[in-house]
């Protein structure tokens, strides 16, 4: 037996696992290709990335986290996040829409507790439905754990709802919106329920359009929302529980993965430009290589934080005692803040390394769109609000990680 036998004897991934990994990667690649083709048009026209979202639907990816028995692909949170890293390299808007959609799909797969909701989950898979979210509300200041609007029972076992929504990303393009509201008109502002409202039962009165610096395809418009829905389209479980176990950690892991894709793309662009310069002067390391090394420090750190956080969520997936613990909440909060700041710095630093050709809007190595997009994560949910919430938790946390 030679020394090499040790290597051949190491446990190999089963053929089944390899097949699955290849299929998962191929689906992400298909969406990434379409996202890349239309990214400039989506940005310049500030329009919904319908081609890439259609491709995601064709690939079955809109139902990715739904169990195979219910018609989905049975993706784990890790598989979902890796898909978003890939798509995030090509079109921020497409990646963010998929991230927000999957935060909602996961609420269904993990918490659907009425016949309507279980049936609707299967419909999301069968029909390739796109889900949006309306958690923030005017006068609430972005605190998703408080609502002013309330659910009101009407005839035929249905409920009605009116909500002033400062932002519903791609609300006008979604097949259903998951909305938070107070349980009843005399409930406390924090006594919230989550309910599914289908587009056909929904009236959206646009208050403000979406013409923003970046993430221009998310169509994050402002609406007055009027809706009715069957009473059992309301989750029985408290929104507090859904928020802690799923909506918040899933959103932060999925967003941060899309941002990691953006940062990765900026890093790859900077790398290719520096390497091209190096080929012209073999034996002399170009000065920009030093900046590339500095960028690598940031990229490695962001990659490790994001992937470790996703792994942490995956490990806590079936354990509410962990996912509802204070240290987990702190970890998921800091993930959003560190990811948002990292992507802004990395894309900006990559721009400086590449130079004027990255600054140009029309250039094979332009980072202009990515740069504008990279500001989005720091403003889309205010970092200061998340830090303030973390600061409150820190008042009793014992600092274990």
Partner 1 sequence: MDSTAIETTVRSVLGHHGKLSEDAGTIAADADLYRAGMTSHASVNVMLGLEDEFDIEFPEERLTKATFTSINSITEAVEAINND
Handedness of CA 335, 338, 344, 345 (dihedral sign): negative
In whole angstroms, the minimum distance from the beta carbon of 329 to partner 1 comes to 7
User: Which residue stretch of 90-98, 249-257, 325-333, 372-380 sits at the interface with partner 1 (rule: CB under 8 A)?
Assistant: 325-333
Pattern 120-159, partner 1, x by CB under 8 A: -------------------------xx-------------
- Name which of 156, 53, 147 is nearest 96 in CA terms: 53
**The binder of partner 1 chosen from 46, 58, 201, 327 (CB under 8 A):** 327
**Closest separation in Å from C-beta 327 to partner 1:** 7
321 near partner 1, judged by CB under 8 A: yes
Is residue 326 involved in binding partner 1 (CB under 8 A)? yes
- Which long-range CB contacts under 8 A does 298-304 form with residues at least 24 apart? 298/263, 298/342, 298/345, 298/346, 298/349, 299/263, 299/264, 299/267, 299/346, 301/342, 302/260, 302/263, 302/338, 302/339, 302/342, 302/343, 302/346, 303/260, 303/264
H-helix or E-strand spanning residue 4: helix 4-9
Looking at the Cβ atoms of 320 and 355, the one nearer to partner 1 is: 320
Task: Measure the N-to-C terminal CA separation of the chain; round to a whole number of Å.
Answer: 45
Tell me whether residue 244 or residue 343 sits nearer to partner 1 (CB atom). Answer: 244
Does 284 engage in binding with partner 1 (CB under 8 A)?
Answer: no
Q: Does 334 bind partner 1 (CB under 8 A)?
A: no
Q: Locate 67 and state its tokens.
A: 């169990």
Q: At 379, give phi and psi (nearest 5°).
A: -110, -15
319 belongs to the binding site for partner 1 (CB under 8 A): no
The two structure tokens encoding residue 37: 């083709």
SS3 19: helix
29 binds partner 1 (CB under 8 A): no
* 345 lines the binding site for partner 1 (CB under 8 A): no
Element (H, E) at 349: helix 326-354
Residue among 191, 224, 314, 341 that touches partner 1 (CB under 8 A): 191
Q: Which is nearer to partner 1, 98 or 332 (CB)?
A: 332
Which of 273/335 has CB closer to partner 1? Answer: 335
Token pair belonging to 381: 């949910």
Element (H, E) at 222: strand 220-230
Contact mark string toward partner 1, 225..244, x via CB under 8 A: -------------x-xx--x
Query: Among 324, 372, 378, 379, which residue interacts with partner 1 (rule: CB under 8 A)?
Result: 324
Chain residues that interact with partner 1, rule: CB under 8 A: 145-146, 187-191, 238, 240-241, 244, 320-321, 324-327, 329, 389, 392-393, 395-400
């Amino acid at each position: 037996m030679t020394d090499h036998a040790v290597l051949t004897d190491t446990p190999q991934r089963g053929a089944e696992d390899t097949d699955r990994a290849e299929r998962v990667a191929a689906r992400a690649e298909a969406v990434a290709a379409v996202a890349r083709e239309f990214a400039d048009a989506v940005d310049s026209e500030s329009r919904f990335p319908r081609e890439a979202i259609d491709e995601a639907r064709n690939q079955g990816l809109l139902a990715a986290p739904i169990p195979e028995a219910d018609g989905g692909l049975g993706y784990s949170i890790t598989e979902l996040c890796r898909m978003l890293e890939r798509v995030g390299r090509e079109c921020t808007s497409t990646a963010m829409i998929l991230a927000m959609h999957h935060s909602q799909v996961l609420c269904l797969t993990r918490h659907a507790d009425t016949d309507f909701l279980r049936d609707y989950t299967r419909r999301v898979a069968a029909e390739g439905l796109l889900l949006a979210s309306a958690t923030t509300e005017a006068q609430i200041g972005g605190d998703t754990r408080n609502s002013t609007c309330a659910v009101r029972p009407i005839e035929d076992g249905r409920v009605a709802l009116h909500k002033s929504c400062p932002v519903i990303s791609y609300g006008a393009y979604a097949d259903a919106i998951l909305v938070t509201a107070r349980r009843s008109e005399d409930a406390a502002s924090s006594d919230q329920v989550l309910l599914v409202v289908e587009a056909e039962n929904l009236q959206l009165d646009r208050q403000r359009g979406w013409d923003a610096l970046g993430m221009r395809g998310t169509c994050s418009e402002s609406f007055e929302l009027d809706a009715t829905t069957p009473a059992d389209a309301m989750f029985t479980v408290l929104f507090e529980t859904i928020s802690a176990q799923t909506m918040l950690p899933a959103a932060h892991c999925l967003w941060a993965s899309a941002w990691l894709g953006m940062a990765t793309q900026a890093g790859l662009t900077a790398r290719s430009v520096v390497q091209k310069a190096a080929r012209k002067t073999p034996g002399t390391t170009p000065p920009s290589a030093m900046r590339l090394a500095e960028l690598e420090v940031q990229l490695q750190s962001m990659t490790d934080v994001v992937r470790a956080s996703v792994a942490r969520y995956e490990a806590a997936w079936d354990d509410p005692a962990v996912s509802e613990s204070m240290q987990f909440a702190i970890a998921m909060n800091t993930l959003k803040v560190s990811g948002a700041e990292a992507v802004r710095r990395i894309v900006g630093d990559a721009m400086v390394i590449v130079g004027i050709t990255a600054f140009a809007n029309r250039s094979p190595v332009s980072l202009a769109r990515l740069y504008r997009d990279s500001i989005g994560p720091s403003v889309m949910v205010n970092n200061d609000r998340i830090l303030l919430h973390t600061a409150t938790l820190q008042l009793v946390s014992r600092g274990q990680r």
